[in-house]
Amino acid sequence: MVDGTEISILVVAGGRGSRAGEGLPKQYRRLAGKTVLARTLEAMGASAPGARLKVVIHPDDRALYAQSVAELSDAARAAVSEPALGGATRQESVRNGLEAVARESAPQIVLIHDAARPFADPALIARAVAAARAHGAAVPGVPLNDTVKEIDAAGFVVATPDRARLRAVQTPQSFRFPLILAAHRAAAAAERDYTDDAMIAEAAGHAVHVFPGDLANFKLTTPEDFARAMDQIKAPSVAPGSGNLTDVRTANVLTDVRTGQGYDVHAFAEGDQVWLGGVSIPHSHSLAGHSDADVLMHAITDAVLGAIAEGDIGAHFPPSDPQWKGAASTIFLEHACKLVRARGGMIAHIDATVVCEAPKVGPHRDAIRASLAEIMGVDIGRVAVKATTSEKLGFTGRREGIAALAIATVRLPE
């Protein structure tokens, strides 16, 4: 979840949904009792409390829109402002929406999202906001599984771009508000047509960053997509105690479940604190070794890397490289999680055990879980941290150092 203050979320719902077939425009069709638009607004609103939601609608759809708004929770309904009216193309609809936002407020960041993508999850939205703050213009992208050909008018291949460098981009696309408003105005003045907002930022000369998207965040375009959406909604939750839509739909798509294990040891040295899972714990000694010697974070990083068969922490961040001396170990875990997301996957669960006589881990357990959950971009309920002594046996029993063990469960697309 992100702090939505100073953020506007523009949801474009002004299309006709001609490729989706059936009577109603697709954003007003029902999925398990709720309209697609209501699902999209709930998902966006819940992920960024405090953000304003502006919907762009077709002038003929006022009554349908009002019905969808009536389905919203009180919190989501309170965040929704007067709708703007769309244009003949998505680009025009977005521009109308941006102009309406500009008349009402001056947000720092705007997320532009298709109403037809009801499965954006909080982690994706947090990545979108962070990327816009860092880069000014950013879009979620997922790797391609098919080889892509560029063809000529006669249907012959003219080029085969390197697939590893290609991404299929989604929404929410995120921008500093003045940047994308100016870029849209320039595109309209130049009478140029573009299929997404990133292209409009690119045409205005801005560098657009691509951050990891989410395969589950697909756009409802064809009748088959509605069947897939129903599968995602109906699928039983596999995440104990979660039961929310995000877990349900993600679990259904990511059916290749992998497990990795990690183990690490660091010896005590002079000092007055140890780092465990990104939390500093006062102690009579510190830990020595690679980076900040966060033994727990290292074990978890190795477990995540193990689950995707990507070697170990030393292979990615060699201890011989002076740049990692004293570095925060968060970098390593973030990197491992990024590799999982780059494959379209997610961290389903972490179970870790710290072995030491001291310091006592129990009082810091929840802070450590919260820290790890934030670094990995997962719910805290997916992170278990336990601790044990070794009954005064062995090196941990002699208080010579700390050991940590971890198991990571990762879900990947088939």
Ligand X SMILES: Nc1ccn([C@@H]2O[C@H](COP(=O)(O)OP(=O)(O)OP(=O)(O)O)[C@@H](O)[C@H]2O)c(=O)n1
203 binds ligand LQXTBERG (CB under 6 A): no
Residue closer to ligand X, measured from CB, 35 or 291: 35
d(CA 44, CA 199): 23
Residue 80 DSSP one-character state? B
Q: Is 291 annotated as a binding residue?
A: yes
Task: State the DSSP H helix or E strand holding residue 403, giving kind and residue range, or none if neither.
Answer: strand 401-412
Residue closer to ligand X, measured from CB, 57 or 361: 57
Phi/psi at 312 (5° precision): -130, 180
Q: Is 389 annotated as a binding residue?
A: yes
Residue closer to ligand X, measured from CB, 14 or 107: 14
* 364 Cα distance to chain centroid: 27
Q: How far, in Å, are 48, 271, 355, 395 from residue 358 at the CA level?
A: 40, 14, 9, 12
For 319-337, give one letter per residue: b (16+ CB within 10 A) or e. eeeeebeebbbbbbbebbb
341 binds ligand X (CB under 6 A): no
Residue closer to ligand X, measured from CB, 80 or 402: 80
The count of residues interacting with ligand LQXTBERG (CB under 6 A) is 8
Which structure tokens are listed for 140?
């979620």
Task: State the DSSP H helix or E strand holding residue 397, giving kind and residue range, or none if neither.
Answer: helix 394-397
Which range binds ligand X by CB under 6 A, 83-91, 181-189, 280-288, 355-363? 83-91
Interface with ligand X (CB under 6 A), residue from 44, 56, 279, 408: 56
212 binds ligand X (CB under 6 A): no
End-to-end CA distance of the chain: 28
Which residues 284-343 are close enough to bind ligand LQXTBERG by CB under 6 A?
A: none
Which residues 385-404 are close enough to bind ligand X by CB under 6 A?
A: none
Which range binds ligand X by CB under 6 A, 84-92, 174-182, 278-286, 317-325? 84-92
How many of the other CB atoms lie within 10 Å of CB of 224? 11
Label the pairing between strands 401-412 and 137-143: unpaired
For residue 326, the cross-strand partners are none
Interface with ligand LQXTBERG (CB under 6 A), residue from 169, 238, 331, 342: 169
Q: How far, in Å, are 173, 280, 327, 337 from residue 291 at the CA level?
A: 35, 14, 5, 18
Q: How many Cα atoms occupy the beta-carbon half-sphere of 310 within 13 Å? A: 23
58 binds ligand LQXTBERG (CB under 6 A): no
Residue closer to ligand X, measured from CB, 11 or 387: 11
Which range binds ligand LQXTBERG by CB under 6 A, 151-159, 165-173, 230-238, 290-298? 165-173
Which residues 100-159 are close enough to bind ligand X by CB under 6 A?
A: 114-116
State the binding site for a divalent metal cation.
264, 266, 298
In the complex, the residues that contact ligand X under the rule CB under 6 A are 12-20, 27, 56, 86-90, 93, 114-116, 219, 221
State the binding site.
264-266, 290-291, 298, 312-314, 388-391, 395, 398
In the complex, the residues that contact ligand LQXTBERG under the rule CB under 6 A are 90, 114, 169-171, 195-196, 219
